[in-house]
Amino acid sequence: MKMSANDRRLVTIIISAVLFIVGYCLAQELTTARLVIFSVALLCVGAEVFIRAGRNILHGQIFDENFLMSIASICAFILGDYPEATAVMLFYQIGEYFQSRAVNRSRRSISELMDIRPDYANISRDGQLEKVYPDEVHVGDTIIIKPGERVPLDAVVIEGHSSVDSSALTGESLPREVNEGDTLLSGCVNINGLLTAQVTKEFAESTASRILDLVENAGAKKSRSENFITKFARYYTPIVVGIAVLLAVIPPLFVPGELFSDWVYRAMVFLVTSCPCALVISVPLGFFGGIGGASRNGVLVKGGNYLEALANTEIVVFDKTGTLTRGVFRVKEIVPQEMSQQELLRIAAYAESSSNHPISLSLREAWGQEIDLSKIDSVEELAGLGVEAIIDGTKVLAGNEKLMVREQIAMPPITPGSGTIVHLAVADKYAGYILIADELKPDAVEAVSKLKASGIKKTVMLTGDERTIAADVADTVGVDEFYAELLPADKVAKVETLLNSKSSRGKLAFVGDGINDAPVLARADIGIAMGGLGSDAAIEAADVVLMTDEPSKISDAIGISKRTLRIVRQNIVFALAVKLVILLLGAVGIASMWAAVFADVGVALLAILNAMRVLRNPLPRHLRR
C-alpha cells in the first residue's frame, strides 16, 4: 500500500516524538548523547520542511513558513536549546498533519454534499442490461433506472411509473411522482418503480453535470473577503519580515546589555506567529462550503462574490409573472345574467375553442369537457376585441368591453375584480362575464414576509400587466411598492432608479423567471432566476438560480449567505486577534516559540474547523424545515 504524504508525516512525527522523550529524560551531562538523539529527532521530523525551504529559496521564494520554521529551529539548536528546537518543529508538523487532515475531511464533506454525480447508466442492448459510463450514452438511447438508482442523464420516461427524490438537486424533500412522458432530471434518485426512459441530453449537458460545473466554477468569482485576504497577504508578509529584522538587529545594537541571541529568538517567534495560513485556507473554505450548502438547499450561487452580496441585500425587486404568480391563467369568477354559471362557461369555452391564447386555454380548462366541434358553425377572430362565433345556430360574442360597445350590446354596470374579463353576449343580448386571473404561488406571501423579517428594507414588484391587476397582487403579497404597465425596457429603467435609491453598500436583487428578463437580471447587483432546472437561459443569465419555483427560497439564500459571512468574519477576527497578541508578546519576549507555533498551525486548525460549520447546517435555525 502506498502511503500518502500525510501518513509519512505521521510516521516521522511518532519516531521523532519517541526520540524526543528519550532525549528529554537523559541527564544534562550526557552532552554528546543528547546532541545525537535530538539531531536525529529534529532531522526526522523536519527533513521535509528543510528540503522545502531549500527548494523554495532556489526558486527565489524566501519568506515562506518552511523557511521560518527551519531558521527558528536551527537557531534554537545552535543556541544549545535542543529540546525546544525539536519540540517546535515537532509541534509544527503535528499542526500541519491535523490541518491537512481537516482540509481533506472538508473536501470530502463538500463532495458528499454535492454527491449527485451518477456513476453509471443501465443501457439495454439486445435485451441485455449493460452497465456503462454515463458519458457513453447518447441522446435518443434508452436507459433503465432501477429503484434506488440515480438518474444518470436527463431523460423522458417512456415506460413505468415511480416516485423520484430530487432533494439533492432542489432541496425539496417530498418525492415527486413521475409517469410516462414526464421528464427526469439527472441526479434525482428513483425510489420505488422501474423506469425506462429515453435520454434527452448528453451527459455533459445534463442537469447533474451542469450543477456540479457551476458550483465548482463558482470559486473563480472571488468574494471581496477572499480578495482582501490575497491582497492582505501580499503586503503583510514583507511588513512582518521587515519588523522582524529590525527587532533582531536594533535593540542589541543600541541598547547596552541586550544579547543578539535573545532578540533573534524574539524575531523568530514574531515571524512564525505571523504566517497568514489560517486566513488563506479558512476564508475560501467558508465560501466554498456556503456555496455547497446553498446548492444542497436548491439555490445555485454562481460565485463567492454573489454569496457575499446576498448578505447585503437591501432591495428585492420581483417580476410579477412567473415569480410571485404562477404565470398560468385560471377562471376566478363566472357571473352570468340569467343562465347558469355552467352554461355561461360552456358557451365561452365553445366560442374560444379555436384559439390558443392563454385566456382561451384557461376557459377550456375550466370547462373541462370535450368540445363537440360539430356544434360550432363558424368562428371569426376579431383582433384586439375577441371572437364572434355561431354555436348551435346562435350568434355568440366573447371579448372585451370594446367589443360589446362596437356591437352595441347594452351592458349592466358591473364592478369587476382584478384580472382579465371576458364579456359574453348571446343572440346580441348581454349574457354575463367571466373573470380570469393569474394565480399566486402558494408561498408568495410567505416569501415577502420572510424577506422583511430578515431585514430587507424594500420589496418592489414590477409587471407589464394592468394597474388594477398589479395593485391586487401587490396588496395580497404585501410588497412595499409596485410599478405596472411596464415594457421590458421600462423595467431596466425602473431597476436603475431603484439602484440609485439604495445605500452604497446595499445590494439590489432582481428576481425573474429568466425567460425574457435577461437585461434586468444583468443590470441588478444580483440577478436571481427561478425554476432554473429546466431553463438553460436562466442558468446563463442569472447570478443565483433557484432550482425550484418557490420564491421563499430567496430568504433561505440570504440566510445562508449571512451565516457564511458571519463565520468567515469570525475567523478573520479570531486569527488576527490571536496573532496580534502573540506578536506583541513575542516582541517583548514573553511568548515563546510554542505560542508562536500555536498561533500559526493551531489557529489555522481552529479556523478550518469553524469554517466547516458552514457545511453542517447551512440554514439558520429559524429557516430550517
Contact footprint for another protein (CB under 8 A): 4-6, 55-56, 59, 61, 64-65, 99-100, 103-104, 106-107, 110, 216-217, 219-220, 230, 233, 277, 280-281, 284-285, 288
For another protein, give the closer residue by CB, 505 or 616. 616
Instruction: Please give the DSSP secondary-structure letter assigned to residue 136.
Output: G
For the chain, the distance separating the N- and C-terminal CA atoms, rounded to the nearest angstrom, is 45
The Cα 116–Cα 152 span in angstroms is 9
The residue among 375, 304, 365 whose CA lies nearest residue 331 is: 365
Q: How far is CA 159 from the centre of its chain?
A: 34
The Cα 215–Cα 229 span in angstroms is 22
For another protein, give the closer residue by CB, 231 or 357. 231
For another protein, give the closer residue by CB, 217 or 394. 217
Active site residue 319: yes
H helices, E strands: number in the chain:
22, 22
For another protein, give the closer residue by CB, 64 or 165. 64
For another protein, give the closer residue by CB, 56 or 516. 56
The Cα 609–Cα 251 span in angstroms is 39
Angle between helices 65-78 and 260-274 (to 10 degrees): 150
Backbone angles phi, psi at 620, to 5 degrees: -60, 155
Q: How far is the CB of 479 from another protein (least distance, A)?
A: 38
H or E element, residue 198:
strand 195-199
Q: Between β-strands 155-159 and 128-132, what pairing exists: parallel, antiparallel or unpaired?
A: unpaired
Q: Strand, coil or helix: what is 129?
A: strand
Q: Which of 81, 154, 319, 600 is catalytic?
A: 319
Q: How far is the CB of 563 from another protein (least distance, A)?
A: 18
The Cα 2–Cα 81 span in angstroms is 36
Q: How far is the CB of 286 from another protein (least distance, A)?
A: 10
Q: With helix as H, strand as E and coil as C, how does 542-573 read? A: CCEEECCCCCCHHHHHHHHHHHHHHHHHHHHH
Q: How far is the CB of 216 from another protein (least distance, A)?
A: 5
The Cα 548–Cα 530 span in angstroms is 7
Q: Between β-strands 299-301 and 183-184, what pairing exists: parallel, antiparallel or unpaired?
A: unpaired
Q: How far is the CB of 304 from another protein (least distance, A)?
A: 11
Instruction: Scan for cell 380570469, then name that residue.
Output: 436
Structure-block grid coordinates of residue 152: 444518470
For another protein, give the closer residue by CB, 70 or 106. 106
Burial 441-470 (b: 16+ CB within 10 A, else e): bebbbebbebbbebebebbbbbbbbeeebb
- The residue type at 519: P
Q: How far is the CB of 296 from another protein (least distance, A)?
A: 15
The Cα 321–Cα 486 span in angstroms is 12
Q: How far is the CB of 106 from another protein (least distance, A)?
A: 8
For another protein, give the closer residue by CB, 104 or 501. 104
For another protein, give the closer residue by CB, 7 or 136. 7
Beta carbons of 525 and 306 less than 8 angstroms apart = no
Q: How far is the CB of 247 from another protein (least distance, A)?
A: 23
Q: How far is the CB of 58 from another protein (least distance, A)?
A: 9
For another protein, give the closer residue by CB, 99 or 323. 99
Backbone angles phi, psi at 43, to 5 degrees: -65, -40
Annotated catalytic residues are 319
